[in-house]
Amino acid sequence: MIPLLADFKLDNDILYMIPHALIGGLFLLSVFPRISEPLRLKFQISAHLVLSLLFFFAAPFFLKATIKGHFTNVHGFIQAFCASLHVGAGFFMWKTQKLGKPERSVIFSRLLSSLICLIFRLFAYMHISAKSAKGLELSNQGKGSFYIENAFYLDAGVTLVYAIIHISFPQHVLSLILKPDVKLDSHHYLWCRLYGALNLIPVITSMNARFYSPEMQTGYIASRLLSQCTVFMLNIYGHWLLMIYSPNHITAFMLSGFFTSFLFSAFHRIHKNYYGTEVEEEIYEDVVESDKKTD
């Protein structure tokens, strides 16, 4: 019976690795040279989508093979914030897939963010491998108008500060906004840092977005709005349903709402700036033609 139980446990461990193999396979296919460019892009979009769904709805099972200890709702909740960036990245690629190859700054932002995420993961792996450290063991431890250009710069600046704070001070951020009875560990801190690293993608992209085509600018600002709306909804979920936030989170929640409103206003202005004039001209031409027919 014992060998059978051991084999069953091994099979379970292998099953937990299937989602990781799926995502890794999708990302590998997205850079495979023998595959056509449109199909590679679809593989990359699919990878971001699958990763977001796993972080949102199956974080305990998706990460069970990589952690040791009890996985709580707070662990999965923090990882859901990383999913919001994958949602935005996937939407941006889908929205702009017919506009040709992505801008160099977009590729560079993804590369830089991926490297920083890799560094944090390797750092965590070193801790979990060391005998003197607990590491990830889940034990308790304490081209547009002036307005459009400035909207992109403001988005980059605010997001940069946001990213630096989450990368540099994860303990302070989580201790300040979560209730005192939530016991934090190194796994919480790791995913707080990873969330900050992922925010470097929109930082670099927003700094260069004013050079993009109108279609790409509109698609990009829509992706930023989608990501921020996801974060805002997560804040609502954590505050009133999970009830893990302390009263200090009210300030952060209001800032998140203001930033969402700013991105919505920026999206409206950008869309109106590029497409509103065309609609007005079409209406004017229709009116002129109808007047001529009447005469």
Alpha helices per DSSP H over the chain:
2-29, 37-57, 59-62, 73-95, 104-129, 146-168, 170-177, 186-198, 200-208, 214-236, 249-271, 277-294
pLDDT at 70: 74
222 is written with which tokens? 């829509």
- Residue 76 has a pLDDT of 80
**What is the reported pTM?**
0.70
Following DSSP, what letter does each residue of 222-287 receive, concatenated? Answer: HHHHHHHHHHHHHHHIIIIII--B-TTHHHHHHHHHHHHHHHHHHHHHHHIIIIIHHHHHHHHHHH
What is the residue extent of each domain of the chain?
102-294
Residue 189 and residue 170 in contact, taking contact as beta carbons nearer than 8 Å: yes
Averaged pLDDT, groups of 10, the chain, 295 residues long: 42 72 88 88 92 85 69 81 91 90 84 84 68 48 72 94 94 94 90 94 91 91 96 94 92 93 94 71 54 57
Per-residue model confidence (pLDDT) at position 77: 85
| Whole-number pLDDT of residue 1 | 38
DSSP helix/strand/coil, 130: coil
pLDDT value, residue 262:
95
Q: What amino acid occupies position 229? A: C
